[in-house]
């Protein structure tokens, strides 16, 4: 007999599952009605039978004007939510004219230096009716406040705004690297955001706790949800330690996961994550509000599994991954464009990615019933298996003193790197088949013309910055920046002085520098 196939998470996959695999299964609890604790079957009773998930397309490149054009194209094509990608200088709290920003302006996302750029980015977009997600972490407070100011300066009330900031700094120390400040200071800023949004932006999701980037770095499904939920626990505890009541902020927490081609395991992963979080919030933090127990999440298909070879095959991969996310009960979804392994997506490729979601929503019957896999021998058993693996990892983090302490010890990073190395070895040896890369290859690829970013963007962005600084009240800006520094030295909520500075036309880099002056920059430990 051939060897048992192993799952991505490291448990064996049986050739046949039957009723005996669910002998220990608590049907009354685990198959409770959708929308009821522990939410294994979905956070809402009707799920997609009422309306489909929010269809987002992650986009942003070059100047604010170029990205604005792409957003309006996507809205015209039927997307129901925007998802903003920022360039690396913006993500690192640097202005486009900073020496370290040279060569990176507008390359992997849109360049935003001031509120004037933000006005351009959302020109003619109805912020009171469009949900906007912003993938921004260390400077998340700055971009959120800019978004709020753009709405207010256009006559909208902040209570009308709906969306999400990623604001998940812990995973940056683990897997991605766009951090600025040390962990404790970063957590202080995040809890200030929680408190600010409770009164100022009540419909805003204050954090999107992300496993996606850890998965892109190599984490398997069990590692992805274990490390993500562990980070979530750290944020909840930090907010409670700052004096917030758990039910005041927990209903606005959101999550962000990947969806891979390992279809059945991904469906199981999403179901396991929901019930794990429900139990964590109820049993460990004493949350009472049902919304505090609900793990609501956005999903993106797996960019790391896209190939530059035979890129059209990525259309198939994305369709499979998108279907897994839908059957797993996602609240919103981004489907990758088939050309993303080569360059920024072209307009046609982005539209095809959106059409993939629309076919799933309107041409299949997966939206006709809630949780189609409920009671499936294989999926229910896999849900238990993924959960068991994830709980083992969470326990290892707890033994190390919790998420932040484990990060400082390099635990999560090392675990992910070991998994990534194993996957690379399997691909190199041919044990893991990647169609078009190590099997079913072709000798000559079709010509592909990628989208290219205008190299003049950096100079244009620097010119706009110079004009902004020449025309604003610089004395007022300096006064506002000093107020941020003073607040950082104490315990006042930082978002109020930050908002005043941005309103006076302080830049992303200037506001970030006001905090750097007090908190310094995080220097990671090197592990060998």
At 217-248, the pLDDT tens digits run 999 999 999 999 999 999 999 999 999 999 99
Q: Where are the domains of the chain?
A: 5-12+55-364+371-429
Average pLDDT score, the chain: 95
Q: What is the pLDDT of residue 24?
A: 75
pLDDT at 113 over 80: yes
| Bond into 38 cis (ω within 30) | yes
Place of tokens 């007999």: 1
Confidence of residue 26 (pLDDT cuts 50, 70, 90): confident
Whether residue 28 has pLDDT greater than 70:
no
Please give the pLDDT value at position 453: 80
Query: Does position 125 have pLDDT exceeding 90, yes or no?
Result: yes
Segment 128-172, tens digit of pLDDT? 999 999 999 999 999 999 999 999 999 999 999 999 999 999 999
- Looking at the predicted structure, is the pLDDT value of residue 269 above 90? yes
CA distances from 70 to 53, 67, 139, 288, 488 (A): 21, 5, 24, 42, 37
- At 1, the pLDDT band (50, 70, 90 cuts) reads very low
CATH superfamily of 5-12+55-364+371-429: Methylmalonyl-CoA mutase (3.20.20.240)
Reported as a pLDDT band with limits 50, 70 and 90, residue 450 is confident
CA-closest candidate to residue 383, choices 18, 3, 41: 41
**Regarding predicted confidence, which is higher, 26 or 111?**
111
pLDDT score recorded for residue 528: 53
Q: What's residue 444's pLDDT?
A: 84
Contact 95, 101 (CB under 8 A): yes
pLDDT of residue 2: 58
Q: Residue 142's pLDDT is what?
A: 98
How does DSSP classify residue 305?
G
The residues, any chain, with a CB within 8 Å of residue 280's CB and separated by 6 or more, are 229, 232, 233
pLDDT at 420: 97
- The Cβ-side half-sphere exposure at 175, using a 13 Å CA radius, reads 24
Q: What is the mean pLDDT of residues 164-186?
A: 96
Nearest Cα neighbor of 22 from 385, 381, 387, 386 is 381
- Kindly report the pTM of this predicted structure: 0.94
- pLDDT band, very low/low/confident/very high, at 89 (cuts 50, 70, 90): very high
Task: Indicate if the pLDDT at residue 327 is higher than 90.
Answer: yes
Tokens representing 90?
Answer: 């913006």
The pLDDT-based confidence of 257 (bands split at 50, 70, 90) is very high
The predicted structure's pLDDT at residue 31 = 79
Residue range 325-336: average pLDDT?
Answer: 97
Percent of all residues in the chain with a pLDDT value above 70, rounded to a whole number = 99
What are 458-485's pLDDT values in tens digits? 999 999 999 999 999 999 999 999 999 9
Neighbours of 108 (CB within 10 A): 14
Q: What is the pLDDT of residues 31-50, one digit of tens each?
A: 789 999 999 999 999 999 99
pLDDT at 525 over 90: no
The mean per-residue pLDDT over the stretch 424-451 comes to 92
Is the C-alpha dihedral spanning 479, 204, 167, 491 positive or negative?
positive
Residue with tokens 């957590």: 187
Structural contact between residues 215 and 224, judged by C-beta atoms closer than 8 angstroms: yes
Identify which has the larger pLDDT, 221 or 449: 221
Q: What is the mean pLDDT of residues 60-74?
A: 95
**Tokens at 178, concatenated:** 């766009």
Q: Which of 474, 512, 479 is nearest to 101 (CA)?
A: 512
Distances from the Cα of 485 to the Cα of 63, 504, 510, 520, angstroms: 30, 16, 11, 12
Tokens linked to 422? 């194993």
What integer is the mean pLDDT of 437-461?
88
């Amino acid at each position: 007999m051939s060897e048992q196939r192993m799952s991505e998470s490291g448990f064996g996959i049986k050739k046949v599952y039957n009723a005996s695999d669910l002998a220990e299964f608590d049907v009354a609890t685990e198959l409770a009605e959708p929308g009821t604790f522990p939410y294994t079957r979905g956070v809402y009773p009707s799920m997609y039978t009422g309306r489909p998930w929010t269809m987002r397309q992650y986009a942003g490149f070059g100047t604010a004007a170029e990205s604005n054009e792409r957003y309006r194209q996507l809205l015209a094509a039927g997307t129901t939510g925007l998802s903003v990608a920022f360039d690396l200088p913006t993500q690192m709290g640097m202005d486009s004219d900073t020496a370290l920003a040279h060569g990176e302006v507008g390359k992997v996302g849109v360049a935003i230096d001031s509120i004037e750029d933000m006005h351009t980015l959302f020109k003619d977009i109805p912020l009171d009716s469009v949900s906007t997600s912003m993938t921004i972490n260390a400077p998340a407070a700055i971009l959120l406040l800019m978004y709020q100011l753009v709405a207010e300066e256009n006559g909208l009330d902040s209570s009308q705004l709906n969306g999400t900031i990623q604001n998940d700094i812990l995973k940056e120390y683990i897997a991605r690297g766009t951090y600025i400040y040390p962990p404790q200071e970063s957590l202080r800023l995040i809890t200030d955001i929680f408190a600010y949004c409770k009164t100022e932006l009540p419909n805003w999701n204050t954090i999107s706790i992300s496993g996606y980037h850890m998965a892109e770095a190599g984490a398997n499904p069990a590692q992805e949800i274990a490390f993500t939920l562990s980070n979530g626990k750290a944020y909840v505890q930090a907010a409670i330690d700052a004096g917030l009541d758990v039910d005041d902020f927990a209903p606005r927490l959101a999550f962000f996961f990947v969806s891979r081609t390992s279809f059945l395991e991904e469906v199981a992963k999403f179901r396991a994550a929901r019930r794990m979080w429900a139990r964590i919030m109820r049993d460990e933090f004493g949350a009472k509000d049902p919304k505090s127990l609900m793990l609501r999440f956005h999903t993106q298909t797996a960019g790391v599994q896209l190939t530059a070879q035979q890129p059209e095959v990525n259309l198939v991969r994305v369709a499979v991954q998108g279907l897994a996310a839908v059957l797993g009960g996602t609240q919103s979804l981004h489907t990758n464009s088939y050309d993303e392994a080569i360059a920024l997506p072209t307009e046609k490729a982005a539209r095809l990615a959106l059409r993939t979601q629309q076919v799933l929503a309107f041409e299949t019957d997966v939206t006709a019933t809630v949780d189609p896999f409920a009671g499936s021998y294989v999926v229910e058993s896999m849900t238990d298996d993924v959960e068991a693996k994830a709980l083992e990892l969470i326990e290892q983090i707890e033994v190390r003193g919790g998420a932040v302490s484990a990060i400082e010890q390099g635990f999560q990073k090392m675990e992910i790197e070991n998994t990534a190395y194993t996957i690379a070895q399997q691909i190199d040896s041919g044990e893991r088949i990647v169609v078009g890369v190590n099997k079913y290859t072709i000798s000559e690829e079709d010509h592909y013309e990628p989208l290219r970013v205008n190299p003049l963007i950096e100079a244009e962005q620097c010119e706009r910055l110079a004009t902004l600084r020449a025309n604003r009240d610089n004395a007022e800006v300096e006064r506002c920046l000093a107020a941020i520094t003073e607040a950082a030295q104490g315990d006042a909520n930082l978002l109020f002085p930050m908002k005043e500075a941005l309103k006076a036309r302080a830049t992303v880099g200037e506001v970030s520098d006001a905090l750097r002056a007090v908190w310094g920059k995080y220097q990671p430990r090197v592990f060998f």
